[in-house]
Amino acid sequence: MAVIDLSQLPPPQIVDVPDFETLLSERKAEFVALFPAEEQEAVARTLALESEPVVKMLQENVYRELLLRQRINEAAKAVMVAYSGGDDLDNLGAINNVQRRVITAADDTTTPPTEAVMESDADYRQRIPAAFEGMSVAGPVGAYEYHALSSDGRVADASAFSPSPAEVVVTILARDGDGTAPEDLLQVVGEALNDEAVRPVADRVSVRSAEIVPYEIDAVLYVYPGPAKEPILAAAKRRVRHTSTSSVAWGVTCGCPRSMPLCMFRASSALS
């Protein structure tokens, strides 16, 4: 799907946020300039003393100004898909008529009630601009992939291709288990893609599950001599888990989308 990688966009800087000391120096200079020329030297000497009440007041004002500048920048980011999140991102999605998917429905029969698991900001953030792909009536690859991703919260990724004219094959990677899409999920996606408002009249669409290739990670860590090997080992495992779970996508080898692959670690001391 031809969508810009939003994570690569530089953060916007709507309002410049200088460091505290720079802004304080500017405020002191402006304060001195308010006095007659013959009094400015005495006022400047007063402002050089940190204990002076007027200096404390200027410091407090500068701190509040920095907070205000930062808040303006954060508010600006809240209206940008690349940096928005939570309810702000939901409202941006509504502009493109894209609703956050429900991964696991809420269950009020449990004690305490189980809250719904919703689509992550990262996944939702990628689907919002992709909505324009779904508006096409010619059946491009991006449109089929967008509608497949939006059909059910259990879909982690989708890939569409055409092996022959008027034939479309959509491959689904499931979010649960090892990534194999169950039959009921394939049926849901198939019905969504064959909707009259989605599929061009001449296309024949079939949906299948991705072929999962399990893998194993065997890492050897060489650390400097010392007593603290376990924290290093734990940090390495966390990073492998993060990499393996965040790499769930079509064309990426991943046997366990939501659980850590079989990882074996050995920590060895480097020779001094």
- pLDDT score for 162: 92
- pLDDT score for 268: 40
- pLDDT score for 258: 35
Residue 261: C-alpha distances to residues 43, 177, 229, 243, 255 (Å): 68, 12, 22, 11, 7
Domains of the chain in start order, with CATH, are 20-77 (no CATH), 136-211 (3.30.300), 216-269 (no CATH)
- pLDDT score for 267: 40
Q: Which residues of the chain have pLDDT under 50?
A: 1, 252-272
> Where is 206: in which H helix or E strand?
strand 204-209
- pLDDT score for 229: 83
Helix, strand and coil percent figures for the chain, each rounded to 5: 45, 15, 40
- pTM here? 0.68
- pLDDT score for 272: 30
- Tokens representing residue 239 in the block: 């990073």
Whose tokens are 């907070």? That residue is: 67
- pLDDT (tens digit, 9 = 90+) per residue, 169-221? 999 999 888 889 999 999 999 999 999 888 888 899 999 999 888 878 888 88
In whole angstroms, give the CA distance from residue 89 to residue 84: 5
